[in-house]
Amino acid sequence: MSGERVKGNAAVGYCLEMSTGDMRTVVRLLMAVERTEQQEHTLARVRTECERTDARFREQGIDLDISIGRALDELIDGTPSTDLCPAYSYAFYQAVAAHFSDPTDLGTWRGPTWFHAMDDELARHGVPSDLLPGTFLFSGPPLRLPHPGDAVPAIGTLPTRRAAALADAYGRVLDRLDPEFRGPARRFADALRFEAEEWEGARQLGTNPDTLLFWFH
Protein backbone atom coordinates (compact mmCIF):
# COMPACT_ATOMS: atom_id res chain seq x y z
CA MET A 1 0.00 0.00 0.00
CA SER A 2 1.35 3.43 -0.86
CA GLY A 3 2.36 6.02 1.71
CA GLU A 4 -0.28 8.42 0.40
CA ARG A 5 -3.00 5.88 1.01
CA VAL A 6 -1.56 5.20 4.46
CA LYS A 7 -2.08 8.85 5.25
CA GLY A 8 -5.70 8.75 4.22
CA ASN A 9 -7.51 11.81 2.93
CA ALA A 10 -4.90 14.15 1.43
CA ALA A 11 -7.27 17.07 2.00
CA VAL A 12 -6.45 16.80 5.70
CA GLY A 13 -2.84 17.66 4.98
CA TYR A 14 0.49 16.08 5.77
CA CYS A 15 2.66 16.48 8.86
CA LEU A 16 6.24 17.72 8.60
CA GLU A 17 8.69 17.05 11.42
CA MET A 18 12.35 17.94 11.81
CA SER A 19 15.00 16.48 14.10
CA THR A 20 18.77 16.70 14.32
CA GLY A 21 21.58 14.34 15.17
CA ASP A 22 24.66 12.45 14.01
CA MET A 23 23.55 10.37 11.03
CA ARG A 24 26.69 8.26 11.23
CA THR A 25 25.35 6.59 14.39
CA VAL A 26 22.21 5.52 12.52
CA VAL A 27 24.16 4.13 9.58
CA ARG A 28 26.53 2.25 11.91
CA LEU A 29 23.58 0.67 13.72
CA LEU A 30 21.98 -0.61 10.53
CA MET A 31 25.18 -1.73 8.84
CA ALA A 32 27.17 -3.12 11.78
CA VAL A 33 28.57 -6.62 11.30
CA GLU A 34 28.98 -7.02 15.05
CA ARG A 35 26.98 -4.65 17.22
CA THR A 36 28.12 -3.31 20.56
CA GLU A 37 26.05 -3.82 23.71
CA GLN A 38 24.80 -0.25 23.41
CA GLN A 39 23.81 -0.79 19.79
CA GLU A 40 21.91 -3.95 20.73
CA HIS A 41 20.05 -2.00 23.41
CA THR A 42 19.21 0.76 20.94
CA LEU A 43 18.11 -1.75 18.31
CA ALA A 44 15.73 -3.34 20.82
CA ARG A 45 14.12 0.07 21.35
CA VAL A 46 13.86 0.62 17.60
CA ARG A 47 12.25 -2.78 17.11
CA THR A 48 9.71 -2.04 19.85
CA GLU A 49 8.72 1.22 18.15
CA CYS A 50 8.39 -0.56 14.81
CA GLU A 51 6.11 -3.13 16.39
CA ARG A 52 4.00 -0.38 17.96
CA THR A 53 3.58 1.31 14.61
CA ASP A 54 2.65 -2.02 13.03
CA ALA A 55 0.01 -2.52 15.72
CA ARG A 56 -1.40 0.96 15.20
CA PHE A 57 -1.64 0.40 11.45
CA ARG A 58 -3.40 -2.93 11.98
CA GLU A 59 -5.95 -1.20 14.20
CA GLN A 60 -6.51 1.33 11.42
CA GLY A 61 -6.89 -1.40 8.81
CA ILE A 62 -3.70 -0.38 7.01
CA ASP A 63 -1.72 -3.10 5.24
CA LEU A 64 1.81 -2.23 4.12
CA ASP A 65 2.31 -5.69 2.55
CA ILE A 66 5.48 -6.05 4.65
CA SER A 67 5.47 -5.26 8.37
CA ILE A 68 7.73 -2.47 9.59
CA GLY A 69 9.38 -4.90 11.98
CA ARG A 70 10.23 -7.24 9.09
CA ALA A 71 11.45 -4.28 7.02
CA LEU A 72 13.82 -3.33 9.84
CA ASP A 73 15.28 -6.85 9.93
CA GLU A 74 15.71 -6.84 6.17
CA LEU A 75 17.49 -3.48 6.28
CA ILE A 76 19.86 -4.81 8.92
CA ASP A 77 20.52 -7.96 6.89
CA GLY A 78 20.90 -5.94 3.70
CA THR A 79 18.29 -8.08 1.98
CA PRO A 80 15.12 -6.09 1.19
CA SER A 81 12.58 -8.50 -0.30
CA THR A 82 10.96 -5.86 -2.51
CA ASP A 83 11.92 -2.60 -4.15
CA LEU A 84 8.55 -0.94 -3.55
CA CYS A 85 7.09 -0.62 -0.04
CA PRO A 86 6.76 2.21 2.51
CA ALA A 87 7.56 -0.08 5.47
CA TYR A 88 11.30 0.44 4.99
CA SER A 89 10.93 4.22 5.28
CA TYR A 90 9.02 3.81 8.54
CA ALA A 91 11.68 1.41 9.85
CA PHE A 92 14.50 3.78 8.92
CA TYR A 93 12.69 6.66 10.58
CA GLN A 94 12.44 4.71 13.84
CA ALA A 95 16.19 4.04 13.71
CA VAL A 96 16.75 7.78 13.29
CA ALA A 97 14.31 8.65 16.08
CA ALA A 98 16.33 6.51 18.51
CA HIS A 99 19.42 8.64 17.90
CA PHE A 100 18.18 12.13 17.01
CA SER A 101 16.60 14.92 19.00
CA ASP A 102 12.91 15.05 19.78
CA PRO A 103 11.14 16.13 16.58
CA THR A 104 10.16 19.73 15.97
CA ASP A 105 6.66 20.07 14.54
CA LEU A 106 6.83 22.18 11.39
CA GLY A 107 3.08 22.07 10.88
CA THR A 108 0.58 20.62 8.44
CA TRP A 109 1.08 21.10 4.73
CA ARG A 110 -0.45 20.32 1.39
CA GLY A 111 1.02 17.59 -0.77
CA PRO A 112 4.67 17.60 -1.89
CA THR A 113 3.86 19.34 -5.17
CA TRP A 114 2.98 22.53 -3.27
CA PHE A 115 6.61 22.89 -2.25
CA HIS A 116 7.68 23.05 -5.90
CA ALA A 117 5.64 26.24 -6.25
CA MET A 118 7.43 27.56 -3.18
CA ASP A 119 10.73 26.56 -4.78
CA ASP A 120 9.90 28.63 -7.85
CA GLU A 121 9.03 31.66 -5.75
CA LEU A 122 12.20 31.47 -3.64
CA ALA A 123 14.44 30.78 -6.64
CA ARG A 124 12.96 33.77 -8.43
CA HIS A 125 14.37 35.93 -5.65
CA GLY A 126 17.80 34.32 -5.69
CA VAL A 127 17.68 31.58 -3.04
CA PRO A 128 20.28 28.89 -3.95
CA SER A 129 18.92 25.63 -5.32
CA ASP A 130 20.26 23.46 -2.48
CA LEU A 131 18.29 25.56 0.04
CA LEU A 132 14.94 25.24 -1.70
CA PRO A 133 12.48 23.15 0.37
CA GLY A 134 11.56 20.87 -2.52
CA THR A 135 15.24 19.97 -2.82
CA PHE A 136 16.05 18.97 0.76
CA LEU A 137 12.65 17.86 2.09
CA PHE A 138 12.42 15.00 -0.41
CA SER A 139 16.10 14.25 -0.99
CA GLY A 140 15.79 10.79 0.55
CA PRO A 141 17.77 9.01 3.28
CA PRO A 142 21.55 8.53 3.19
CA LEU A 143 20.99 4.80 2.68
CA ARG A 144 19.38 3.28 -0.37
CA LEU A 145 15.90 2.13 0.61
CA PRO A 146 13.10 0.52 -1.39
CA HIS A 147 10.86 3.24 -2.78
CA PRO A 148 7.80 3.93 -0.58
CA GLY A 149 5.58 3.58 -3.62
CA ASP A 150 4.29 7.14 -3.60
CA ALA A 151 5.40 10.61 -2.56
CA VAL A 152 4.53 10.01 1.11
CA PRO A 153 6.06 9.13 3.53
CA ALA A 154 9.10 11.12 2.50
CA ILE A 155 12.51 11.53 4.09
CA GLY A 156 14.85 14.43 3.46
CA THR A 157 18.10 15.67 4.92
CA LEU A 158 20.05 18.90 5.10
CA PRO A 159 23.55 19.32 6.55
CA THR A 160 23.20 21.21 9.82
CA ARG A 161 26.06 23.48 8.78
CA ARG A 162 23.73 24.85 6.06
CA ALA A 163 20.99 25.82 8.52
CA ALA A 164 22.29 29.35 9.06
CA ALA A 165 22.67 29.90 5.32
CA LEU A 166 19.05 28.86 4.79
CA ALA A 167 17.78 31.14 7.55
CA ASP A 168 19.76 34.06 6.11
CA ALA A 169 18.66 33.42 2.52
CA TYR A 170 14.98 33.19 3.43
CA GLY A 171 15.19 36.18 5.74
CA ARG A 172 16.61 38.39 2.99
CA VAL A 173 13.67 37.77 0.66
CA LEU A 174 10.72 37.49 3.05
CA ASP A 175 9.33 40.94 2.30
CA ARG A 176 9.41 40.27 -1.44
CA LEU A 177 7.67 36.89 -1.43
CA ASP A 178 4.11 36.32 -2.52
CA PRO A 179 1.92 36.32 0.63
CA GLU A 180 1.11 32.64 0.11
CA PHE A 181 4.74 31.73 0.73
CA ARG A 182 5.81 34.43 3.17
CA GLY A 183 4.51 32.70 6.29
CA PRO A 184 5.93 29.28 5.39
CA ALA A 185 9.31 30.81 4.53
CA ARG A 186 9.37 32.60 7.87
CA ARG A 187 8.55 29.35 9.65
CA PHE A 188 11.49 27.60 7.99
CA ALA A 189 13.81 30.55 8.62
CA ASP A 190 12.95 30.69 12.34
CA ALA A 191 13.27 26.92 12.81
CA LEU A 192 16.56 26.68 10.95
CA ARG A 193 18.00 29.72 12.75
CA PHE A 194 17.33 27.98 16.04
CA GLU A 195 18.97 24.78 14.79
CA ALA A 196 22.01 26.72 13.59
CA GLU A 197 22.47 28.20 17.04
CA GLU A 198 22.01 24.80 18.69
CA TRP A 199 24.59 23.30 16.33
CA GLU A 200 27.17 25.92 17.21
CA GLY A 201 26.58 25.26 20.89
CA ALA A 202 26.90 21.49 20.41
CA ARG A 203 30.18 21.88 18.55
CA GLN A 204 31.59 23.93 21.40
CA LEU A 205 30.72 21.02 23.69
CA GLY A 206 32.54 18.59 21.39
CA THR A 207 29.60 16.94 19.60
CA ASN A 208 28.49 17.27 15.99
CA PRO A 209 24.79 16.74 15.23
CA ASP A 210 25.61 17.02 11.55
CA THR A 211 22.25 16.21 9.93
CA LEU A 212 18.79 17.72 9.92
CA LEU A 213 16.23 15.07 9.07
CA PHE A 214 12.80 15.93 7.68
CA TRP A 215 9.94 13.45 7.95
CA PHE A 216 6.92 14.23 5.77
CA HIS A 217 4.02 11.87 6.45
pLDDT, position 107? 94
C-alpha 213 chain-centroid distance: 4
Contact status, residue 149 vs residue 3, Cβ threshold 8 Å: yes
Residue 194, CB-side half-sphere exposure with 13 Å CA sphere = 10
Task: Give the closest residue to 117 by CA, choosing from 98, 139, 132.
Answer: 132
Please give the single-letter amino acid code of residue 142. Answer: P
pLDDT, position 52? 98
Percentage of the chain modeled with pLDDT above 70? 94
pLDDT, position 2? 38
Q: Name the β-bridge partners of 211.
A: 21, 159
Helix (H), strand (E) at residue 154: strand 154-159
Q: What is the pTM of this model?
A: 0.92
- Average pLDDT over the chain reads 93
Residue 4 has pLDDT above 50, yes or no: no
Percentage of the chain modeled with pLDDT above 90? 89
Instruction: Determine the Cα–Cα distance for residues 105 and 64; give it in Å rounded to an integer.
Output: 25
The dihedrals phi and psi of 102, each to the nearest 5 degrees, come to -60, 140
Cα-only R_g, the chain = 18
Average pLDDT over residues 91-108: 97
Instruction: Determine the Cα–Cα distance for residues 2 and 24; give it in Å rounded to an integer.
Output: 28
pLDDT, position 150? 82
Q: How confident is the model at residue 190 (pLDDT cuts 50, 70, 90)?
A: very high
State the Cα angle at 64 between 60 and 67, rounded to 5°: 100
Three-state secondary structure call for residue 14: strand
Three-state secondary structure call for residue 107: strand
The CB density around residue 201, as the number of other CB atoms within 10 Å, is: 10
Instruction: Determine the Cα–Cα distance for residues 189 and 203; give it in Å rounded to an integer.
Output: 21
C-alpha 113 chain-centroid distance: 17
Residue 83 has pLDDT above 80, yes or no: yes
Chain segment 132-153, per-residue pLDDT in tens:
999 999 999 999 999 998 878 9
